[in-house]
Amino acid sequence: MFFVLNAEKDNKLKPSHLAACLILLVGLTLATTGCSKSASDKAASDNTQHETGMQRVLRTGKIRCSYLLYSYYFQKDPNTGKLSGIFHDVMEEIGRRSDLKIDWVEEVGFQNIFPGLDANRCDVFCGGLWPNATRAKAALFSKPVFYSAITTWCRTSDNRFSKDLGIINSPSFKIATIDGAMEDIIAKSDFPQAKRESLPELSPFVQNLLNVVHNKADVTFAEPMVVNEFLAQNPNTLKQIAPDKPLRIFGNSLTVKLEEQGLKEFLDVALEEIVNDGQLDKIIAKYKLNKGTVYPLSRPYQLPVSAN
């Protein structure tokens, strides 16, 4: 710009030169504006990329949920696609109370739960998951919604395991499992010598039960809630071994990415609210489960004793 003004002052700049300089000046101005805009866009993009899960939820006004189909926890009508289940209803209640939309974005298998969270395809795995030490290395877990006991099941006519579950730990026996599911984890850790009749991770859990019934496997490990639904349609096909000796007792939790402490704390507060005011009991009662299939949470307080 200094060159143009100085040249005009000295009356030495030809019109063609002046036009060229003006074009150059406009180009520089546009380039400067473009750089400024590009830097601004980049800063906004960086802020979005580095926001926490809770910040993203607040910015978008929604919680993106993945889920896994598992009876009573999470169900999907094959004809209408309508979703239901205990954890579906729990999350919708959390959304209602916090004025957030629940966006059901992805159905996953057991082995895709944590990769989906890590890739930010969802904010929360909302299908209910049993925490253990291995899984705690990959994700954070909310307070439990309720507890479940995992027990051993075999054919009704099979009496080989009634006295000692330890005999299952032998190459002579097969355990029905789904890859990455809890029965698969229990089989590998507690009964490593036994063979496994393995199914791919998105297989319906009922197929484990059918594999036992049809003699493709000898036992499987499951919570009574799921097996009782199967037995209602297939009576006298399976029996529970040592119901008073569960292999595991787990809380059923919501799951978030490992570093999302803020989002976990939000879920904890929301869950505590619906536990303390009795709404969780109403949600579970809606599904009319057999007695003893769900271990409810105890209240973290005691009502004061009446003075009268």
Taking only the tens place, the pLDDT of each residue in 155-180 is: 999 999 977 899 999 999 999 999 98
Q: Which long-range contacts (CB under 8 A, 24 or more apart) does 271-276 make?
A: 271/90, 271/94, 271/142, 271/143, 271/145, 272/143, 272/300, 273/97, 274/90, 274/93, 274/94, 274/97, 275/299, 276/300, 276/301
Which CATH number fits the domain 147-248, given the four candidates 3.40.140.10, 2.60.120.10, 3.40.50.150, 3.40.190.10? 3.40.190.10
What per-residue confidence (pLDDT) applies to 20? 54
Asked if 7 and 13 touch (Cβ cutoff 8 Å), the reply is yes
Share of the chain above pLDDT 90, in %: 67
What per-residue confidence (pLDDT) applies to 296? 86
Helices (H) and strands (E) in the chain, counts: 11, 12
Q: At 54, list the tokens.
A: 């809770």
Q: Compute the average pLDDT of residues 70-94.
A: 94
Q: Do domains 53-145+252-285 and 147-248 have the same CATH topology?
A: yes
The domains of the chain are located at 2-49, 53-145+252-285, 147-248
pTM to 2 decimal places: 0.73
Under CATH, domain 53-145+252-285 is a member of which superfamily? Answer: Periplasmic binding protein-like II (3.40.190.10)
What per-residue confidence (pLDDT) applies to 36? 52
Q: How confident is the model at residue 70 (pLDDT cuts 50, 70, 90)?
A: confident
Taking only the tens place, the pLDDT of each residue in 254-301 is: 999 999 999 999 999 999 999 999 999 999 999 988 877 888 888 777
